[in-house]
Amino acid sequence: MMLKIGELASKTDVSHHTLRFYERQGLIAPAGRSDSGYRLYSDLDVDRVGFILSAKKVGFTLLEIQQLLELEITKDDNSCGDVKCFVDKKISAVNQRMLEMKRIKKSLQALSKACCGGSVPATQCTILEALSEQKN
Amino acid sequence: MMLKIGELASKTDVSHHTLRFYERQGLIAPAGRSDSGYRLYSDLDVDRVGFILSAKKVGFTLLEIQQLLELEITKDDNSCGDVKCFVDKKISAVNQRMLEMKRIKKSLQALSKACCGGSVPATQCTILEALSEQKN
DNA sequence: CTTGACCCTAGACCATAGTCTAGGGTTTAA
DNA sequence: TTAAACCCTAGACTATGGTCTAGGGTCAAG
Ligand SMILES: [Zn+2]
Ligand SMILES: [Zn+2]
Ligand SMILES: [Zn+2]
Ligand SMILES: [Zn+2]
């Protein structure tokens, strides 16, 4: 019933290095310790690693996951609105980054389009010229 | 005609810290040094900082900018095709990242949609439940 | 001749998410 | 009893793009 770190590692496919790293980051702590100081994890801890992995898959950072876990643990004192708000803020941040990436993509495509791409020397390459242009 | 680092910094809006950092990264080197060891920059160096800033704006990393500068310097020996290929590879990478962001955005939106967002306790919050779900 | 503004090098520090090593101790099985 | 396999802590190291400090040297004006 209690797992040592190596067992948890193979069960969750998270390395023991990473599990200890998550512990230092305050994401997970073993349910107890053996007499010799070995970490001992319970089934709840296994679930917790699952939560962390799920949250990572949807793009949350470790800090955000820490906050989500806090919400989870104290969920009786939090409302659905609190949790949804947390997710919606993340959606906004993701949207922001996507807009920036779209801008970048368009700029790059414009550069690519203007370049002949031939085997002629790049002496007059429009890409290099565009990047060299002074915007004063 | 020759600028000291502080002058280049205010001219380009790049801090002297960052200029020295770029130098360590091999992006730019002063045209010369004064007797007392001060960095002295030429007009070409000003252009070079402009190139770096332009390339940053379209999303290139410092390593990529280093490679682009290499292309620029040896442009007589490179073809337009080489330069365009470099940009197209970057576009592919950007597309990859955008796909991943879209996946994340959709997941987050699905989570948000399923949650009632009300002021009821989050004890049965579908978001927390979805993240807790085991995918074995 | 001192003050302030500038310059120098070398190196520490920040976030982010780990990975790995050194140098020990423990457990288990042959 | 000894070797393998596991565990422990503490801390270094990776990439990325800087920022900042410590502890000096230089230069110009008053
Ligand atoms: Zn061309
Ligand atoms: Zn071209
Ligand atoms: Zn609800
Ligand atoms: Zn909810």
- Tally of residues, chain B: 136
Chain A residues within 8 A of B127 when measuring between CB atoms: 80, 83-84, 87
- Pinpoint the alpha helices (H) of B2-136: 5-12, 16-24, 43-57, 62-73, 80-114, 126-132
Same domain membership, residue B28 and residue B1? yes
Same domain membership, residue A83 and residue A46? no
Q: Is residue A2 part of a domain?
A: yes
pLDDT at B89: 96
Shortest Cα distance from A38 to chain B (angstroms)?
26
Total number of domains in chain B: 2
Contact B121 A81 (CB under 8 A): no
Same domain membership, residue A1 and residue A56? yes
Q: Is residue B71 part of a domain?
A: no
Same domain membership, residue B91 and residue B48? no
Give the distance, in angstroms, between residue A77 CA and nucleotide D14 C1'.
41
pLDDT one-digit tens code per residue, A45-95:
999 999 999 999 999 999 999 999 999 999 999 999 999 999 999 999 999
Q: What is the residue range of B104's domain?
A: 79-136
Say whether pLDDT at B27 is over 70.
yes
Q: How close is the Cα of B124 to the center of ligand 2, in Å?
A: 58
Q: Is residue B65 part of a domain?
A: no
Chain A residues within 8 A of B12 when measuring between CB atoms: none
Q: How close is the Cα of B110 to the center of ligand 2, in Å?
A: 43
Same domain membership, residue A37 and residue A1? yes
Chain B residues within 8 A of A125 when measuring between CB atoms: 75, 80, 83
Q: Is residue B70 part of a domain?
A: no
Say whether pLDDT at A136 is over 80.
no
Q: Is residue A111 part of a domain?
A: yes
Least confident window among A25-34, A63-72, B18-27, B126-135? B126-135
| Nearest protein residue, CA measured to C1' of C18 | A18
SS3 B2: coil
Q: Is residue B67 part of a domain?
A: no
Give the distance, in angstroms, between residue A11 CA and nucleotide D1 C1'.
33
Residue type present at position A119:
S
Q: Is residue A11 part of a domain?
A: yes
- Give pTM, 2 decimals: 0.92
Among B12, B7, B91, residue whose Cα is nearest residue B53: B12
Same domain membership, residue B86 and residue B47? no
Cα–Cα distance measured from residue B134 to residue A86, given in angstroms and rounded to the nearest whole number? 22
Q: Which of the four pLDDT bands, split at 50, 70 and 90, describes residue A135?
A: low
- Long-range Cβ pairs for the range B91-96 (8 Å, 24+): B91/A105, B91/A108, B91/A109, B91/A112, B94/A101, B94/A104, B94/A105, B94/A108, B94/B59, B95/A105
Q: Is residue B29 part of a domain?
A: yes
* CATH, residue B43: 1.10.1660.10
